Chain A
């Protein structure tokens, strides 16, 4: 189930963060989203929290959960698959 969400999650990242000049194929599924990977920060993370809730009804309740969920595209997809409505 979470494998099917990989591409939509990549697109959600691109759309929510208004990343210009990038397609889903440019985002590595297992690369870190923060720091060395896609280079996201806490401002981006909150934007993704809201986008995930709007698109999938999934809540990221606290910072500790957020740290696990936003490790990679795969972990985001897994969280949505587990908690999505």
Chain B
């Protein structure tokens, strides 16, 4: 019993922050200050990373950044974990928000509180700071955020006199109207291979899946708002009011064939959508995401941050690079230089940069960034990602395809995923006090 408690404490957030400060956190500050120079390796799977590295090298002759294009998904995170273990990690790496706590609690990334912490505090709103801060320390610097939006076929809605829903009750009515108007068409999707949207919608409803206390975690994947959201989408899928399909090509096929005429997505989807289905130009429009009570509320579906993995030989230059690519207008300009990205910068001051780069003729000239800004402002506070999100997501994805068939209910999927998550966390020596 005693042994177990010690192990649990060692893995807990409080102990971790202490430990990290003790061994690595002070490093960059105590080194004698000289100009930041040297080589920086940079791992990323984000589009535009090559342009960003080039642009940085041009404007910073003292630092040489080498960009390495790596595959995304879970494979990337195991690769990064192994690289840190072996001491061959890069100096800068991309990590999506859901995976950040996992790297932080395992001590795989540097505590940035001393170096980039002030920048994060100064430039980024609470809605995204809550995603990179853990245990009172800063572990990553946000690049983009992914507030929710509703994409819909304007032509279809007008032709069949369907109103754009602002509440989830109205959304349900809309899906019924869509199916009535065209038996082949549906007004939404439940992705079977990506739990991100369901998570974001729970977040929007006010759910809190994880809470890191002083020395323990609370895990409540099936709290009230989550259950409500899950029951709602589970019903829609079972009644065949929304499609249940993979987020990869089956989804885009359904768009291309006019079988999906509305779906909830995030700001970045606008660019992905227009690039993938270019011939539906002018037919789509974007609206605020519906909410439960009609008042603005949002969550995030995607987004990424940058970290300095443990063992980086040049964390000063790495920090300089991270700062430039996340908060400098020139850096942001390089990210979106292809003109195809509709990503929403985490730093609100950079919105004009991305807005200028992304043409919205596809959406009839709509001001997407105003919609994105409103949604970003409405992102619910109090959300935190868990320390074993890989396991959590796998547990969710394993059962999602069975929801539409009625073999398992969506709220039950959450309960089962919670069980898997808690088991995994205990296995790693973390203390879980709730449920």
Same complex:
no
